[in-house]
Amino acid sequence: MNDKQFDDFLQQQLQSSSPYLDDGDFSARVMASLPGQKVQKRLHPWVERLIACVPVTLIAVLVLGQFPLRDFIQPIYAWLITFDMSSLAPLIVVLALVLFAIFQSLSSRRLSLF
């Protein structure tokens, strides 16, 4: 075996016996350990809600402040004051009857269970 042949033989045998190591989680561990890889800290859920709610509330207050609310509320208030409550009497009677019927059916069902 001359030198060249032996070199080729040795190279072939060593290279073919060299295993490939599966990465597994090695790369992930390396990347996680690099500087500048900050772990994202999750905020408390209530803090997250507060962060979302505060700007929404502020914007809502600002938008509502632009509306002529007095012009909107005053007619409703006036209508409530001048409303004739006696005209609601038939409606109240009908509602009372419906509620009574519902109550009766529920109580009879409860009795049948025992």
Which stretches of the chain bind another protein, using CB under 8 A?
Answer: 1, 5-7, 9-11, 13-23, 26-27, 29-31, 33-37
Spacing of C-alpha 111 from chain mean position: 42
Q: Which is nearer to another protein, 33 or 40 (CB)?
A: 33
Q: Closest distance between another protein and the C-beta of residue 52, in Å? A: 30
Cα separation, 106 vs 114, in Å, equals 13
The 3-state DSSP class for residue 29 equals helix
Q: Which is nearer to another protein, 3 or 84 (CB)?
A: 3
Q: Which is nearer to another protein, 14 or 81 (CB)?
A: 14
| Tokens (6 digits) for 28 | 């992930």
| Residue 107, φ and ψ in degrees, nearest 5 | -70, -35
Q: Closest distance between another protein and the C-beta of residue 41, in Å? A: 19
